[in-house]
């Protein structure tokens, strides 16, 4: 996942840091703050085709929450959000060895021992609360008949003491429940059994496309090309905004717009609904998608004295579009292709590997996102990586697709494929895209379920007949169709010519007003 957007006026706020609750690694670190205002469009939904696929292993399971027709809860208070993920603690306790191994393989700092300790305390406290409630009911029932005044007074005193004790224990139970859920929400998703175990170096190449372009002249990197062709201005942007910002100029503007329109057009042909997303979201939505918006290692820009953040990827607002909803089975899969700007602090990033456009604080991105049935998510993961490979291959790029190892997976990902393209000017491969299957990790936090269609009536636990099947959590997937700055690097460096010009790949030309070549500017005489 890499991200994009449209914006208008800009307001600036001060820097603010807040402690992180979870310590597990995430893509998102130190906070600078600014806000953007923009207009968003929402196209009409379309019902898309269904494909069945075997059910995959799920990290956590739980009973369905209360159901309703496709509904969205609105008008919630803007106070500090207290959200709850639907986590099955019994499953975690019964499979603690599996969970512990998964945490170790993914280099997560989640504290399983603390989760299990809190869960045991929760069970014991819950039993005590239920015992006192039962005793209070017994006392209340005894007071219904005719009693001697002394007996009634004794029961009143006993009921009063039970009530006071119960209030205190219930308050402790609420606090313990919140602490338990906060710790459990730090646990990473379970991992696909075929994912290689180890650090990034253990990742496996799935596919290699084309061979590197050969040059019979001294090649330049994108910074040299950009300077010679008058495409970028990093110096002015540094004065205006700080390091890792940039101005695009002349044909580079056409190139960015062309890449965005080309990517959206190509993905839309495959049945994906175009979106332009909000670029400011609530911190709770960032958390529900599996990222940590505040803390020492976050990549998220947070707004001071506010519960909102700038998005680091369109995955976040698209993931939240059906938050707290029950989707009809006939609506699945829901496929979106979203454009937004993305904002990342890139804390700790330095050195030649991050020069120029490779790692910046603001960039445009086109993101694909799918909501689907659990048994279909592996299939749609393959669909997403196939789309990425088709897009990049059509531009004539040399790239490899990787099955990323456990140590490189973010907390939400069950499995992740990365695409790394050859950047000859930089002399190395660089990540230009990724595709992640997050199974039900995000939907359990976002509250996104669907009601399977059923030919036979379902029976509830209470024995009442019902024509409604129990709801299930959808699976979510995301993938990058086009991360603009890194695509610009690839295009400039791979298609440079000996005379300093850059040839535009044929698929992009209709989206750039028919421009075929970016030519060196004629030097004006003094």
Ligand-binding annotation for 478, yes or no, is: yes
Distance CA 12, CA 87 (A): 38
Ligand-binding annotation for 89, yes or no, is: no
| C-beta separation of 252 from 232 below 8 A | yes
DSSP secondary-structure letter at 277? -
| C-beta separation of 102 from 405 below 8 A | no
Ligand-binding annotation for 524, yes or no, is: no
Distance CA 315, CA 312 (A): 8
Which of 80, 5, 3 lies closest to 36 in space, CA to CA?
A: 5
Ligand-binding annotation for 434, yes or no, is: yes
Distance CA 84, CA 95 (A): 21
Ligand-binding annotation for 431, yes or no, is: yes
Ligand-binding annotation for 313, yes or no, is: yes
**How many Cα atoms sit within 13 Å of 404 on the Cβ side?**
23
Distance CA 31, CA 44 (A): 36
| Two structure tokens written together for 296 | 């020492």
Distance CA 23, CA 414 (A): 19
Give φ, ψ of 95 to 5 degrees.
Answer: -125, 40
Which of 404, 326, 402, 278 lies closest to 72 in space, CA to CA?
A: 326
User: How would DSSP label each residue in 357-415?
Assistant: TTS-SEEEEEEEEEEE-GGGHHHHHHHHHHHHHHHHHHTT--EEEEE--GGG--TT-SE
Query: Which residues are CB-neighbours of 524 under 8 A, at least 6 positions away?
Result: none
Ligand-binding annotation for 362, yes or no, is: yes
The 3-state secondary structure of 144-177 reads: CCCCCHHHHHHHHHHHHHHHHHHHHHHHHHHHHH
**How many Cα atoms sit within 13 Å of 68 on the Cβ side?**
9
Ligand-binding annotation for 279, yes or no, is: no
| C-beta separation of 351 from 304 below 8 A | no
Distance CA 76, CA 324 (A): 12
Ligand-binding annotation for 360, yes or no, is: yes
Ligand-binding annotation for 345, yes or no, is: yes
DSSP secondary-structure letter at 61? -
Which of 343, 397, 381 lies closest to 365 in space, CA to CA?
A: 343
From the annotation, which residues make up the binding site for ATP?
344-346, 360-363, 431-434
From the annotation, which residues make up the binding site?
313, 344-346, 360-363, 367, 431-434, 478
From the annotation, which residues make up the binding site for L-serine?
313, 344, 367, 478
């Amino acid at each position: 996942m890499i991200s994009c957007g449209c914006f208008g006026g800009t307001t600036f706020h001060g820097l603010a840091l807040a402690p992180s609750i979870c310590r597990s690694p995430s893509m998102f670190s130190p906070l600078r703050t600014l806000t953007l205002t923009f207009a968003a469009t929402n196209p009409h939904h379309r019902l898309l085709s269904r494909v069945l696929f075997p059910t995959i292993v799920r990290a956590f399971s739980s009973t369905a929450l209360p159901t309703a027709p496709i509904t969205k809860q609105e008008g919630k208070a803007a106070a500090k959000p207290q959200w709850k993920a639907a986590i099955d603690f019994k499953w975690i306790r019964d499979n603690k060895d599996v969970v512990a191994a998964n945490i170790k393989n993914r280099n997560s700092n989640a504290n399983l021992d603390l989760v299990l300790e809190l869960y045991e305390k929760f069970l014991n406290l819950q039993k005590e609360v239920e015992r006192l409630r039962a005793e209070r009911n017994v006392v209340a029932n005894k007071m219904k008949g005719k009693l001697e005044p002394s007996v009634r007074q004794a029961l009143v005193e006993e009921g009063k003491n039970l009530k006071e004790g119960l209030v205190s224990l219930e308050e402790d139970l609420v606090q313990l429940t919140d602490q338990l859920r906060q710790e459990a929400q730090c646990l990473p998703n379970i991992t696909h059994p075929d994912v290689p175990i180890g650090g990034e170096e253990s990742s496996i190449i799935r596919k290699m496309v084309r061979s590197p372009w050969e040059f019979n002249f001294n090649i330049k990197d994108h910074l040299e090309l950009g300077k010679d062709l008058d495409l970028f201005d990093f110096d002015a942007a540094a004065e205006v905004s700080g390091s890792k910002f940039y101005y695009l100029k002349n044909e580079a503007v056409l190139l960015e717009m062309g890449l965005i329109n080309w990517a959206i057009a190509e993905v839309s042909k495959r049945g994906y609904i175009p979106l332009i997303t909000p670029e400011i979201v609530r911190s709770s939505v960032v958390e529900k998608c599996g990222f940590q918006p505040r803390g020492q290692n976050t990549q998220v820009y947070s707004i001071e004295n506010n519960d909102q953040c700038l998005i680091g990827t369109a995955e976040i607002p698209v993931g939240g579009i059906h938050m707290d909803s029950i989707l009809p089975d006939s609506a699945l899969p829901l496929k979106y292709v979203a454009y937004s700007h993305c904002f990342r602090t890139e804390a700790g990033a330095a050195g030649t590997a991050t020069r120029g456009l490779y790692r910046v604080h603001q960039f445009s991105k086109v993101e694909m996102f799918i909501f689907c049935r659990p048994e279909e998510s592996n299939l749609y993961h393959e669909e997403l990586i196939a789309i990425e490979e088709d897009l990049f291959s059509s531009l004539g790029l040399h790239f490899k697709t990787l099955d990323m190892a456990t140590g490189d997976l973010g907390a939400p990902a069950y499995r992740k494929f990365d695409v790394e393209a050859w950047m000859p000017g930089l002399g190395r491969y660089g990540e230009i895209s990724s595709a992640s299957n997050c199974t039900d990790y995000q939907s359990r936090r976002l509250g996104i379920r669907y009601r399977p269609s059923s030919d036979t009536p379902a029976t509830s636990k209470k024995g009442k007949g019902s024509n409604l099947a129990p709801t299930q959590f959808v699976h979510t997937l995301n993938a990058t169709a086009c991360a603009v700055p890194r695509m610009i690097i690839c295009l400039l460096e791979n298609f440079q010519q000996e005379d300093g010009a850059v040839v535009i790949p044929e698929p992009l030309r209709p989206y750039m007003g028919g421009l075929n070549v970016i030519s060196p500017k004629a030097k004006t005489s003094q």
